[in-house]
Amino acid sequence: MILVTAATGTIGRPLVARLSARGVPVRALTRTPATASFPDGVQVCGTAEPDLHQVDALVLNLAGVGGDPSALLDAARAAGVRRIVTVSSLVVTEDGEETGEGSTAALHRELEAAVEAAAPEWTHLRPGGFAANALQWVPQLAAGDVVRGPHALARTSPVHEADLAAVAVRALLGDELLGRTPRLTGPQVLTTAEQVAILGRVLGRPLRHEEISPEAALRGMLAANPWIPEQALASMLRYLGSTVGGDVPATDEVRRILGRPARTFAEWAADHADAFRPAGA
């Protein structure tokens, strides 16, 4: 049995679907068990009382445990969970001021250490920016063709959640990634403005990016993500600002692990185009 935390999230939902399609017993941990929809056969449990009975492997995402994994890791150790696949972050490997206490890098570094102390087998997936972060633009694009956000020239290498889920399956069901920390990105380094332009071409709309202050962006992020500490969100914004004109990695890990190239942001946009279109369009 595999327990997937944040099971309705960006990585969790496609991961549950992939495991279920392979006939792997899956238990989905979610804050909304009464309304969550999963493939037939998937067991659902709430975050208040996670069911670790017969669980052999665990996928741990901070988003699925309210930012504090200690209780779940204690329960996993007591239940004899042997393998944990961590959804960590590429910023763990970065140097600089955004690695201090309370930063995104520090939170995920602490998570990795806690996982290694809790389970004999582990893999830490370290993804860069998610292509799915673009979904935060849906409400704005319902009102017009302008995306307002910080750091138009911030550079990331957005990774498709389907690639992350596919790598997670390999880490859960095989042994080749045990004890490893793959750095997972998309194949291209793109600015935020370039991502908006690519999405516009896919949708056939003249989309453009309009920059707002980091302070205004932080207020919006806090409202949308109340479980994430303000210090972590602020450090994330500062990190994005530091990538303007900087050297951002686009790794080859997805191709090496899966035997095919990582999906591009344009492919992600095509896969999710309906999310940006009005209902019934």
The pLDDT of residue 231 is: 76
Residue 51 pLDDT greater than 50, yes or no? yes
Residue 281 pLDDT greater than 50, yes or no? yes
Average confidence (pLDDT) over 116-142 = 94
Residues 66-101 pLDDT 10s: 768 888 999 999 999 999 999 999 888 765 545 556
The pLDDT of residue 230 is: 80
Average confidence (pLDDT) over 166-192 = 96
Average confidence (pLDDT) over 27-48 = 88
pLDDT band of residue 25 (cuts 50, 70, 90) is: very high
The mean pLDDT value of the chain amounts to 89
Residues 217-271 pLDDT 10s: 888 888 877 777 787 788 788 888 888 988 888 999 999 999 999 999 999 999 9
The pLDDT of residue 97 is: 45
Average confidence (pLDDT) over 51-73 = 87
The pLDDT of residue 278 is: 75
The pLDDT of residue 83 is: 97
Residue 195 pLDDT greater than 80, yes or no? yes
Q: What is the DSSP string of the chain?
A: -EEESSTTSTTHHHHHHHHHHTT--EEEEES-TTT----TT-EEEESSS---TT--EEEEEGGGTTT--HHHHHHHHHHT--EEEEE--GGGG--SGGGSTTSHHHHHHHHHHHHHHH-SEEEEEEE-SBGGGGGGGHHHHHH-SEEEES-TT-EE--B-HHHHHHHHHHHHH-STTTT---EE--S--EEHHHHHHHHHHHHTS--EEEE--HHHHHHHHHHH-TTS-HHHHHHHHHHHHHTTTS-----SHHHHHHSSPPPPHHHHHHHTGGGGSPTT-
